[in-house]
Amino acid sequence: MAASRFRLLRRSRWLTLRIWRQRLVFWGGAIAIGCVSVAFTAAADGAQAVFLHGIARFWLLPLIVTPIGFVICAALTQKFFPGAEGSGIPQAIAARHLARGPDRFRLLAPRLIIGKIGATLIGLLCGASVGREGPTVQVGAIIMLQVARFGGLKNERGLILAGSAAGIAAAFNAPLAGIVFAIEEMSRSFETRTNGLVLYAVIFAGLTSLGLVGNYTYFGVTSATATNGRDWLMVIACGVIGGLAGGLFGRLMLEITAFARRWIAGLPRRNLQFALGCGIVVAVIGILTHGATFGTGYAQARNAIEGQPVSWFFGPAKFLASLATAVSGIPGGIFAPSLAVGAGLGRTIGAFCGAGAFSLVAVLGMAGYFAGVVQAPLTAFVIIMEMTGNHGNVIPLMLASVIGFGASKLLMPTSLYHALAKNFMPAKTASPPVTMD
């Protein structure tokens, strides 16, 4: 009897140690995501500043640097880092659908962290219209997949989801948006066990980001809200026009990407030629707009939200620059550029309609357009509310996001990220049931 109790006590102690080891490894992974996000942010800001300083001294520099940078990014991705191209969110979605093994590991291999971050920084250094948020999602998923393997955790799908959510939360300092994005767009379901992992990952990654850089609102602060009939008409207008524009962006991106894949198939050099052409387009648009469309568009979006002047053509021009960058296949996200396009479109709509509250139409344009691109209305209004500190504008943001989502469906029946995810899955699993680990 005594021997039996001793064995049970020993087993219980071993299980407790194993559980705590798994918890510590998981928490360490979330903290690592926060640290990487903060470092990535600083490096991205520095890279963009270097490029903007260069074009201020020599305005024709983009015609040389931007196309060459696109080719370098495409070559690095093609030869050394296959799987790092594009946003990174489709790869994380595809990895969750794949069973454990080489296919999942190929999309979330540790070496892709170097390729994803490095190539995105090169893109910003040459003026590409990219953001760092999508890449941070893939990096977060990679870190958490390694946590699963190192810590002996079996729920790889849940940990990939948790890493993705932590990446969004740390990149935007928007913890609620990270959670909502994971549930609404990444998994499209509510699972108690998985969402617990998401919550803890977001908390630890968010606390790490707060500890390193402090609390801040990504796009500044605005208190503008709909107060009269004209403002509510702007809510509807921004939702409809922004949603249609977002759906058009997604539709064009899928169509052009499919064309490019067919044209490049079997001829790797054409990949570099296509990237070169996209780089030239981005350079020309940037020069014509006096540099406004280069980079993330963060400064222009912040100006629009805070009521400062933004050119009426910024939204359409940023739309074209972001589309050319996205279809080129170079690593980089579309989150920040899409929010910038939305803010610009909102200001344009407000200018043509004679709206006086330009800050209001900027955030409404953001909501409508972003919801149209990603087709995730909950994420759209939550992320904009958190990034502008505008908690009094919830209902107008909700309405603009929902209208934008519905308008987008007229042009883009399927989610952009889920449609792109199929390019990273074998044909037999392109529309699979979700596999359980």
Q: What is the pLDDT of residues 61-110, one digit of tens each?
A: 999 999 999 999 999 999 999 999 999 999 999 998 887 778 888 899 99
CA–CA distance, 93 with 161 (Å, rounded to integer): 8
Phi, psi of 333 (to 5 degrees): -95, 170
**In degrees, to the nearest 5, what angle opens at C-alpha 311 toward C-alphas 389 and 230?**
60
Superfamily of domain 12-213: Clc chloride channel (1.10.3080.10)
Question: How does residue 437 score in pLDDT terms, banded at 50, 70 and 90?
Answer: very low
Q: What is the identity of the amino acid at 218?
A: Y
Amino acid 7: pLDDT: 56
The pLDDT assigned to 5 comes to 56
Whose tokens are 């810590």? That residue is: 151
* CA atoms lying within 13 Å on the CB side of residue 404: 39
Q: What is the largest CA-CA distance in the chain?
A: 86
pLDDT of residue 20: 74
Tokens 């279809």 locate to: 327
Give the other-Cβ count within 10 Å of 58's Cβ.
Answer: 10
Strands, E, within 363-429: which ranges? Answer: none
Q: What would the mean pLDDT of 223-231 be, rounded to a whole number?
A: 81
Residue at 130: amino acid letter: V
- What homologous superfamily is domain 229-416 in, according to CATH? Clc chloride channel (1.10.3080.10)
Structure-token pair, residue 137: 């999602």
Helices (H), 58-153: 61-79, 89-97, 102-107, 111-125, 133-151
Cite the residue boundaries of each domain of the chain with CATH code 1.10.3080.10.
Answer: 12-213, 229-416
Bridge partners of 333, per DSSP, are 131
d(Cα 68, Cα 434) in Å, to the nearest integer? 41
What HEC string does 200-269 produce? Answer: HHHHHHHHHHHHHHCCCCCCCCCCCCCCCHHHHHHHHHHHHHHHHHHHHHHHHHHHHHHHHHHHHCCCHH
Q: What is the pLDDT of residue 435?
A: 39
Query: Which tokens belong to 245?
Result: 């524009």
pLDDT digits 0-9 by tens, 137-152: 999 999 998 888 887 7
Count, residues in the chain: 437
Residue 240 has pLDDT above 60, yes or no: yes
DSSP result, 19-40: HHHHHHHHHHHHHHHHHHHHHH
Question: Do 211 and 425 touch, CB atoms closer than 8 A?
Answer: no
